[in-house]
Every structure is written in C-alpha cells, then in structure tokens.
Amino acid sequence: MPEEIMPRLYRIIIPLPNSPLKDLNSYVIKSDDRNLIIDTGFNRSVCFEAMDKGLRDLDIDLTKTDFMLTHMHSDHTGLVSRFFTDTSKVYISRIDSMVFNENIDWQAMLDYALSSGFQLEELVKAMESHPGFKYSPKKIPEFTLLDDGNIIHIGDYKLKCLLTPGHTEGHMCLYEEEKQILFSGDHVLFDITPHIESWSYEVNSLKNYMESLNRTRNLPVKLALPGHRNFFTDLKGRIDELKEHHETRANEVLEVLGNNTMSAYDIAAGMTWDIDCENWEQFPTAQKWFAVGEAIAHLRYLESEGRIKRNTGHKIVTFSAP
C-alpha cells in the first residue's frame, strides 16, 4: 500500500532491479479535481506492475491525472508513456524536453566519448547496456514545458518550479512554500550522492550543480522528498556535505593526475569507486560510462578554475597541470 506522507500526498516505491539506486520514489498528490504523479520509473514490466498496483490502491483515475517529470532520465520518465491519457498534462522542463527530440545528435556524444579515451568496442557495449536507452519511454507525449518560477496547482498544493541544473541541464525541483516541502528529484539525495557527469566541454555540470546547491541551501524546508531512498529534514546540512564531497573528489582527480598527462578515461580508472570490483578492467561497461562522465565533470570544473589545463589537437583529449 502506498505510504501517506501528508494529507493527500503519497509515495509509491518503484523497484529498479540491477540498479545501484535500488528503487524510485514516485509521489502522488490527490485532489477532487486533478491528481499529480511526480516521476514514474523505468519502462519495464516490474516497474509498471508496482506503479499500476499503487495507483489502483489509491483509486487514481488516470483520465483526471497529470504528470511532472523532474528530469529526463529514464528511471524518472520511462513509464509515463504507459500511464498518461489524452486528458493528461505531462510537465517537464523546457531544457530537458529537448532530449526527447528524435533528431538529437547522439553521434556527437559518442565522438566525445571516443576522444575521452573510450575504445569503440567498449563504447558500443556501454550504449547497448545503458538503462537510459533500454528503458526510456516508447511513446513521447506532448509535453507541457516548464520554466523556472512556474507554478503547478494541485488541490491545496502550490508547487513552485525551481530550475536546478547539474544532475541534468534542465533538472527541476518543486517547492511548496507554505508546507515547506521540497520535492528534490535527484538534485539532493540523502543516502547516496547524486551523479554529476558531463559529455560536453560546453557544459560545466559540476559548477552548475554547486550553484544550484547554493540556490536551494537556505530554503525554509521541513521535509525534503528525494527521487530515491529516504526522506530527510536537514536540507542545509546535506547540501554542505554534498559540496564537501565534490571538493574532495576534485582533489582526488588532481592526485590521480599529478604531473602526468592523462585522458579522462585513464583518470577515471585511477579514482576510487563504490563498486564491488577488484580493478577497473572488471567494471561493468555501463558503470565505466558513468565513471568517465563523472571524471569529466570534475575535470571541466577544475579547468574552469585554472587548476588544470585541457590539451586538444590530438585524437584523444588529455589533461595536465597548468
């Protein structure tokens, strides 16, 4: 049975098998007029069954239900195609909606990964096993696009959209000022650290994330409702921990680099990761993708601060001390 958090606000836990995230928190706000579902789960049967049961337990009429997707990752968006109806609004940030464009240039990302040190054969495996490709929505709804500051009214909940780029470029949190609730998506998690990666030198994901943390740090929040794992109450304390974590990781990147000239791939191989493998060669290919993306985010951040330099002009981009 879904858990009631506050009057007419519920959590349905959606399992995410074979994912280190373990599960997703899907939030449901009921009202006499319209309902709102915040985030869904992967587009796979085990997720569908959990969501379907939860919605039936809550007696949710899908023809009177809208959806809000905090960001574009498939563990948050994958199932929306199986539940939205002709009368549903599907909200997502204007920025993250662009990922669902059929004409998006995935080749640019692959070329970027090759220039970061991936081998082509390994890269093909990473793409084939990436959950973002395997479990994404099969039918893309017509989105209702959100910008920073927009308000979503559902019952007596007034949800203000806060653009918090970092985890994705268009990540959105929802803030209920009167009730002092923050639906934090993957912007702030309590038990685990949100993944910050970069697959473009034009985007400084970690710098954006640090600025987004500063933006939300002083919000009056009694309860933060994240996309994964447990609720928490000390938003400011958790944000300070996350900022310190990324500074520590940036310093680790500098230690791995030392006086060497190295690719992002080789730097990631030298970093510490919370994965049960004895060495880099044993890493699942999909996890290598996430690790290299995270390494690049920290390298781009360090480069923007003048603490390292990026060397281009060769097939593989490298980094070294300035």
Does a structural domain hold residue 263?
A: no
- Prediction pTM value: 0.95
Nearest to 267 by CA among 288, 289, 292: 292
Total number of domains constituting the chain = 1
- Domain of residue 22: give its range: 3-252
The pair of structure tokens assigned to 157 is 């909940």
Three-state SS string over the chain comes to: CCEEEECCEEEEEEECCCCCCCEEEEEEECCCCCEEEECCCCCCHHHHHHHHHHHHHCCCCHHHEEEECCCCCHHHHCCHHHHCCCCCCEEEEHHHHHHHCCCCCHHHHHHHHHHCCCCHHHHHHHHHHCHHHHCCCCCCCCEEEECCCCEEEECCEEEEEEECCCCCCCCEEEEECCCCEEEEECCCCCCCCCCCCCCCCCCCHHHHHHHHHHHHHCCCCCEEEECCCCCECCHHHHHHHHHHHHHHHHHHHHHHHCCCCECHHHHHHHCCCCCCCCCHHHCCHHHHHHHHHHHHHHHHHHHHCCCCEEECCCCCCEEECC
For residue 104, what pLDDT is reported? 63
Does a structural domain hold residue 275?
A: no
- As a whole number of Å, the CA-based R_g of the chain is 20
Instruction: Report the CATH number at residue 57.
Output: 3.60.15.10
As a whole number of Å, the end-to-end CA separation of the chain is 57
Q: Which residue has the higher pLDDT, 298 or 289?
A: 298
Does a structural domain hold residue 259?
A: no
Does a structural domain hold residue 182?
A: yes
Distance (Å, whole) CA 271 – CA 162? 33
Does a structural domain hold residue 283?
A: no
For residue 102, what pLDDT is reported? 64
Residues 25-79: tens digit of each pLDDT: 999 999 999 999 999 999 999 999 999 999 999 999 999 999 999 999 999 999 9
Q: How many CB atoms lie within 10 A of CB 234?
A: 12
Does a structural domain hold residue 166?
A: yes
For residue 132, what pLDDT is reported? 64
For residue 107, what pLDDT is reported? 77
Residues 215-231: tens digit of each pLDDT: 999 999 999 999 999 99
For residue 170, what pLDDT is reported? 98
Does a structural domain hold residue 316?
A: no
Does a structural domain hold residue 266?
A: no
